[in-house]
Structure 1
Amino acid sequence: MRNVTLTDIFLHPSAQKYLDRSGLVHAISTAYHAFSLAKEHGVNPDLATKAALLHDVGHYTWYTNGQWDYSLYKENDIHAIKGAERAHKLLIELGEDPRKAKEIALAILLHTDSYLPQGQLQLLPLQRVVALADEADEEPGGLHHYRKLDKSTALNRIKNLDRLVDAHYETQNLKHSV
């Protein structure tokens, strides 16, 4: 059973603010990729979709002369750190299990290594799924953050993804009860 749904997250005013800032279409697309990848890799799809939906909520917009400056962003970015903190706070506020909120926050923290010194991280399966889901939706120059979608369509997509996650759990429960 899920304490917090993707719809609960999406409708929260803080999530609305940060999802709009970081790219709502990218967040939703990444969550759908995470759902598929989670099933493929044996990862909890509830945690994966939540982490993927919230993975970029730490973005700060970097502008030069009123224009988005991708190189300035890449040079100064720490969005994964800020996003992990924001997501954790939001999830706890909404009533998420604290252990799950921590797992989700860590997946957000480690979805990119753009802010880390050279070297490779050894990611846990959930963290790997969220990183792969993010990569699956990226566009050159950060353009994936600027695709637009109206709120009604976005909410319908989120609700559909909630139904998919719930259906996955129902299927798993049927398998275990046989």
Structure 2
Amino acid sequence: MRKVTLVDVFKHRITQKYLQRSGIHHAVTVAGYALEMAVEAGVDPDLATKSALLHDMGHYEWYRDGKWDYEEYRKHDIHAIKGAERAHKLLIRLGEDRTVAKEVSLAVLLHTDSYLPFELNGKRTPLQEVVRLADEKDEQPGGLHHYKQMDKSEAIRILHQLDLEVDQADYENDVS
């Protein structure tokens, strides 16, 4: 049985603060993709969905002359590093198992290699690869995927459904 659900994670004030920057719609959509991909790949769906939900919580805003500057942001981007730290701290505060918090944090850290001077191709774990692919599936040019809107109540409804599906997948794995 899971200690912390996606809805628990989403409702926390820290998650609310940082998902406002990166986009609730994007985070919830990527969590849904991660569940599908995790089941296909034999990856723990709980770890995959939590990692996907939190993968961009390290985003920050970069403005130049009062206007969002995506290119400048990309040049100075360290969101995966900040996100990994925030995700770990958040999950520990929520009472999550320390091993789960560590695995989620690493998946958040390695969901992109845009901040690294080298590529991670072939070096990610299956969990980390699922999160990378789920994020990539929702991306749009110029970061537009971060600006799609989703009402919080709709996000909670979808995340509740994902929680039920994660529980079902865990049950089916235990029975097999």
Q: What is the TM-score when the length of structure 1 is the normalising length?
A: 0.96
Q: Deviations over 1:55-78 (max 9, x none)?
A: 000001111122211101110000
1:4 aligns with 2:15: no
In structure 1, distance between residues paired with 2:160 and 2:16:
15
Q: Deviations over 1:24-77 (max 9, x none)?
A: 000000000100110111100000000000000000111112221110111000
Match of 1:142?
143
Match of 1:172?
173
Shift in Å at residue 119 of structure 1? 3.4
- One-letter code of the match for 1:123? R
- Matched positions, count: 175
1:44 aligns with 2:22: no
Match of 1:105?
105
Match of 1:71?
71
- SS of the residue corresponding to residue 164 of structure 2 reads helix
Q: CA RMSD in A?
A: 0.9
In percent, how many aligned pairs have the same letter? Answer: 59
In structure 1, distance between residues paired with 2:118 and 2:99:
29
User: Which structure 1 segments of 5+ residues have no match?
Assistant: none
Shift in Å at residue 161 of structure 1? 0.6
Shift in Å at residue 174 of structure 1? 2.6
- One-letter code of the match for 2:64? T
- One-letter code of the match for 2:116? L
1:161 aligns with 2:158: no
In structure 2, distance between residues paired with 1:9 and 1:57:
12
User: Which structure 2 segments of 5+ residues have no match?
Assistant: none
